[in-house]
Amino acid sequence: MRTPLLFLSFFLLTIACFANPPKPPIGKRWAINPLYSDEFNGTELDLNKWYNYHPTWVGRPPGLFMESQIKVEDGYLKIWGEKMDEEVIVNGNAFNIKCGAVISRKQTAHYGYYECKFKANKTTLSSTFWFSNRKNFDGPEECNDKYSQEWDIQECIGREGDFDGSWFAKGMHSNAHLWYTDCEGTRHDYRATEARFEDTQLASEDFNIYGGWWKDANSATYYYNNGEPLDQTFYDQVLDKPFSNPMGMNLVVETYPFPWIELPNDEELADPDKNGTLYDWVRAYVLVDAFEPYITEEEPLIKNGDFETGDLSGWIGWGSPGAAITDNTVHIANGTYACRIVGGGAPEQILDLKPNTDYTITCNAKAVTGSITLGVKDNGSGEKINGVEVTGTDYQPYTLKFNSGNYAVKLYYYAQANEEGYIDDIMVEEDNPAPPVEVEPLALYDENVTLNPNFSQDWTKQEVSIPLVFQANQDREMHLKLKNSDDIVVSDTVLTAYAGYANAVVNIKVDSVLTKGAYSLYSDIRPIDGLESDIIYTESISLNDVSVRSTKAETLKVYPSPASNLLHINGIQVGTQYNIYDMKGILVDSEPYNGEPILISDLKPGMYIIGINERKGRFVKR
């Protein structure tokens, strides 16, 4: 029996939001990852979470990414295309169409489920939801080969036409690219086999939900409007684990290569009813243990600032000789490692910072020869924001203050030719951090619990194990009560049902000994410390053939034997019927057990059998 206790008005307001991730593995729970989730319900893009441009890519010609093409209003993120008044030249390429990109500041998205609900624009501009690295990783060979990952959950256009890629306007198209630059410097696009969902409807006709489960370094599963999934195996001929690195999220509207897809015409680019892609929401989930809290740990603003990984993880080293790690104690300020820089070159790191915010960099540094520059610059234009000269030949503390501005910032420690320096213990801190803001929990689920009657029992632990699934929008209490046929509670368990979607097996401890028979299990979800009047949802099921012992444990322990007046019994629940038979099988006594020793003074001397359900014991009456 299920009894939803939700107000109808609340249900009507939230039913459109429900888009569950796939059922998690047993013992796991999908928890929302706020770093890559956004409902776009405000009036401005959250620039603490997103860039309103692409920090490393200006766009595919002739479509230029421009901040002017992005806005949040009416509960949607809108990215739209327009024709430029005049052609512009950027990095030697000609651009005449305004496009837009919303890119996650963080690059830590890893294994998990990601989904996005959007309605494509009605032009041949793209509408996309994908992930990528913003840097290259060292390849498997010792020849300076490199690779990066690109995971495309959905790429599409909004209308058909007389061009080869016309089919891209319908359904869902999911790809995974391993971009590999070999020892000769040739770049390869090693793709997995595309996962494609067919549809008769254009992607621009309505909102669709596009989901991807990045399961591990070798595989993903895709979902179109929460339907039947399609699996994909990543290309693994270059790397055994090709998709092992975290990535960033991208929501991009761009131009596609002509003539595979034709360029949008001026008329549709000028029509606001056609030229915009509407993103309703994007959500990210991570798998955690079913009954363990999920805490998003605050990452340091700089990665590997003390170089104690023993390598340049988190850094980009360039130049020759450039940047390298040293374990020479003469050149270490603290710990085991430091970074050596020899001109011309530098170790550099792009910082994911809040926009227009004041920060301070501190470090220990020294210059063995020359004058080394510690500085920060705009990652896009390369324009210097601030810097300080390191001149002392012994380690000294240095401080550098700067404002992050609107764009990605790059930290560098730069040596010119014939200069040498060392740096250690780099820290980046916000000058005036605001206290954390409590975020209203999302109404992602129709909160409920579903019990599975296929229970198991372990009487060595006095436990009954119940499979169940629960969904909760915020941390809740789950109450589980096991009752016998007389409506007596024989077990009462209270658990914290943490926010998310869980698939679990719950072990219910039973302190008393049960008689074999049918029992009822009742569950409810309520607020933390909530009363019965606060219950949000209840569920009950029948558990048949619950027994007191395993089938091998049939012996009933009675004592003393021989006995004169009183017979003691262990492990029997009060109210259970007992039967005493003589050796001819004649019933000589039958009563409900009251918890006291059984009076047998009226029995004739001899051997008897006492039975309780299927369990039997023998005793001798003296």
User: What number of CA atoms fall less than 13 Å from residue 280's CA on the CB side?
Assistant: 15
Dist. CA 435–CA 619, nearest whole Å: 73
Dist. CA 24–CA 251, nearest whole Å: 26
- Work out whether strand 566-569 and strand 345-351 pair parallel, antiparallel, or are unpaired: unpaired
Residue with tokens 């130049």: 319
What is the 8-class DSSP label of residue 8? H
Point out which residues pair with 579 in neighbouring strands.
590, 611
Dist. CA 612–CA 590, nearest whole Å: 10
* Catalytically annotated residue among 150, 254, 419, 477: 150
Q: Is 1 helix (H, G, I), strand (E, B) or coil?
A: coil
Closest CA to 79 of 136, 28, 125, 30: 125
Known catalytic residue: 150?
A: yes
Dist. CA 150–CA 130, nearest whole Å: 7
For residue 397, say if its preceding peptide bond is cis, omega within 30 degrees of 0: no
Known catalytic residue: 82?
A: no
Dist. CA 228–CA 235, nearest whole Å: 23
CB 383 within 8 A of CB 409: no
Phi and psi at residue 105, in whole multiples of 5°? -70, -35
* Catalytically annotated residue among 82, 155, 254, 539: 155
What are the distances in angstroms from CA 165 to CA 168, 253, 286, 348, 497? 6, 16, 34, 40, 47
User: Known catalytic residues?
Assistant: 150, 155
